[in-house]
Structure 1
Amino acid sequence: MGSIAAYETSAGRRYRVRYRTPDRRQTDKRGFRTKRDAEDFLATVEVSKIRGEWVDPTRARITIAEWAPQWYAAQLQLKATTLSGYRLSLDRHVVPRWGNYRLADVGHADVQSWVTELSQTLAASTVRQIFLVLSGLMKYAIRDGRMNRNPCDGVRLPRAKAKARGYLTHEQVGALARACGQEYGDIVLFLAYTGLRWGEMAALKVGRLDMLRRRMEVAEGVTAPRGELVWSTPKSHASRSVPFPAFLTSAIAARCVGRRRDELVFVGPDGGVLRSNNFRRRQFADAVAACKGVDADFPSLTLHDLRHTAASLAISAGANVKAVQRMLGHASAAMTLDVYADLFDDDLDSVATALDSRAAAAGVTAVL
């Protein structure tokens, strides 16, 4: 056990606790206003040592500004776009607010107040990402033995509103492709009928295509966070084989003429990587506006909605959830169901219709 001793200060009597760390080093903590506070602290220390949960309080004296670079450097598993978002959250929100705080000084109520304040001016999804960065900093500190609790645990976050997805019909996909013109219309068709992410399409190389089997190996992705091209594996970190419909064969083959196996299938005007921001600004936005001008049912659309459209068209064509999962590169069929639960609701109607048809053919009737 440790010991407790009183000492005098200009502000009055205070108490000091002396105790040994698990490695038998003697240390102390001063400044307790009452003997009861000192006794409670000493009891907590002894219990935490017995449970193997003791944390050296001196290791939590590092500030958030000092700790953040260590946490950020350890995020090796994350994609460049995710890291870029984390960097922005750190620089614009986390470090300006918490940078001078020591890890040990961040309190749960303070974090909750901060989240509530952010929610007044920022979208719920943005607040959640900023909070995730601070919470991640704290979790990493716990794993490093600097803390034994996360002040972010239990903080109430704003409810994020589900974004409305734009699903196109076959006819609307065709109209959008025509509106994008001969040079880029096949890109719309390719995305809407394969479900590739933009970065996967932009990174696709000629050698990854199997024109006879109408398959392609999706093994790379390219993004441009802050304008700099970053090549990596797909979002799921795994390659996959994706089919493409026969009517796209000639357009894809035309893109490959005169190109080596290690060259890109889809390229920008300068022959380099086709960038989503440029395509969105120069072709896609105007094409969507043109389609909405002649079709009142044409939805507002993002480039990523072409991936959602591919899922919708595949499901309506009768593809099962496992096939859609493999096509899109989701980690599991459960994830596909979670993301596209609204699309699979229509399957219930088709099940009932199919059962009704088979029952009628067999002469089954309701017995009243």
Structure 2
Amino acid sequence: MASIQTYKTTQGKRYLVRYKKPDGSHGNKRGFRTKRDAEEFIASVSVAITANQYIDPRDAKVQVAELGRVWLEDQAAVLKPSSLRPLESAWRVHVSPRWSRIAVGDIRYSDVRAWVTELSATKGASTVIRSYGILAAILDIAVRDRRIQENPVRGIRLPKKTPKRRVYLSHRQVDLLAKESRFPDLVYFLAYTGMRWGEVTGLRVRDVDLIRRRVFVQENAVLVGSVIHVGTPKTHAARSVPFPDFLVAQIDLAMAGKRQESLLFGDGSGHLIRPNSQDGWFAAAVRRAMAKDPTFGRVTPHDLRHTAASLAISAGANVKAVQRMLGHASAAMTLDTYADLFDDDLDSVAAALSRARIADLPPRNLS
């Protein structure tokens, strides 16, 4: 049931529509300039109610801040602290100041596009993509809650991330870096297992099998703010990682005198904190290595993970073995991440095709 009434304003006659909502309550909408406009509105409401797609205009008045809190709580329930922290920061610094007090029904594509452009002028692609993603995800909740008909910000073009250049050390350079380091055993272990910093510093004596030369990765120690959070590895899956035999003596020494639950590296009780990128012990070792080797570039502890992949591939390891060693979700991910390391395989393909063609074709008559 719906009705149309007229009323007067300083700008002239206007039309008011009163209608019944699906829950039995009554709604109204005013401001129509013509009766035809009012009738078209009634028709659209009737169709939406019949199709179970009606959205109460009052629900669209909820502000982004309210749904933002719900979204962050949902993320906190499923994400590791290290993954949640950048989202909370992006919400607090970039999303909330601009959108918190805006009703979800008032957000327009053009406004968000202008915001993305403004952010892109001063912030990196990762920050822009993360901030936009938060707002878009919050509006997805509004759609699911039937507060708005569709997400108005989906489809906005975002800046592209520029991949950082990876640094791969040679065996000789790994040896140089280790010798210049305060923790040489840790440098060797990172460079020859490909484990993440948090995985290595989370290893315990009980995780080491010296006979099979394996470590069992089941903990990850990550510094978030000023607190170390210990949880599962990045992919939530434990894995077994091999280490070369020349590390056996060093690992055996690191285990000496420690209990099974003690941490492998360090004093056994406290997790080693990732060194400061500017003035930490690792950066100091890199500077000393660069002074002795002009070909030595700047590297970070995470670059030793890339180095491990490079050394393994150059030694003939197949992509599936490298995937398992690094803990990637799939071999495709390993190939995508380290595609540049498999360039030599293209030459092998061409050579193999030539050999196969020669073997398959009949010999030419040379007479």
> In the alignment, residue 223 of structure 1 is paired with which amino acid?
V
- CA 1:280–1:264 in 2, change beyond 3 Å: closer, same or farther? farther
Distance across 2 between alignment mates of 1:55 and 1:121: 38
Q: 5 Å matches for 1:1-368?
A: 2-75=2-75, 76-181=77-182, 184-267=183-266, 271-278=269-276, 281-352=279-350
CA RMSD of aligned residues (A): 2.7
Question: Is residue 63–residue 103 contact of structure 1 (8 Å, CA) maintained in 2?
Answer: yes
The superposition leaves residues 193-243 of structure 1 with CA deviations (integer Å, 9 ceiling, x where unpaired) of 111111111211111222211112211212121112212211111111111
5+ residue gaps, structure 2: none
The superposition leaves residues 40-62 of structure 1 with CA deviations (integer Å, 9 ceiling, x where unpaired) of 54444334334443333322212
The superposition leaves residues 307-335 of structure 1 with CA deviations (integer Å, 9 ceiling, x where unpaired) of 11111111111222221111111111121
Distance across 1 between alignment mates of 2:210 and 2:55: 60
Distance across 1 between alignment mates of 2:33 and 2:199: 62
CA drift at 1:255:
1.3
Question: Is residue 280–residue 303 contact of structure 1 (8 Å, CA) maintained in 2?
Answer: no
| Number of positions where the alignment pairs a residue of Structure 1 with one of Structure 2 | 364
The superposition leaves residues 103-132 of structure 1 with CA deviations (integer Å, 9 ceiling, x where unpaired) of 111111100000100111111121111111
> In the alignment, residue 29 of structure 1 is paired with which amino acid?
K
Distance across 1 between alignment mates of 2:175 and 2:205: 25
Question: Is residue 108–residue 151 contact of structure 1 (8 Å, CA) maintained in 2?
Answer: yes
Question: Is residue 262–residue 269 contact of structure 2 (8 Å, CA) maintained in 1?
Answer: no
- TM (normalized to structure 1)? 0.89
Distance across 1 between alignment mates of 2:363 and 2:157: 52
Distance across 2 between alignment mates of 1:345 and 1:151: 43
CA drift at 1:180:
0.8
> In the alignment, residue 121 of structure 1 is paired with which amino acid?
T
> In the alignment, residue 212 of structure 1 is paired with which amino acid?
I
Q: Please say which structure displays the higher CA radius of gyration.
A: 2
Distance across 2 between alignment mates of 1:249 and 1:279: 29
CA drift at 1:179:
1.4
5+ residue gaps, structure 1: none
Distance across 1 between alignment mates of 2:184 and 2:355: 41
1:120 aligned counterpart, secondary structure: helix
Distance across 1 between alignment mates of 2:172 and 2:362: 39
> In the alignment, residue 336 of structure 1 is paired with which amino acid?
T
CA drift at 1:143:
2.6
- TM (normalized to structure 2)? 0.89
Distance across 2 between alignment mates of 1:42 and 1:196: 63
Question: Is residue 196–residue 305 contact of structure 2 (8 Å, CA) maintained in 1?
Answer: yes
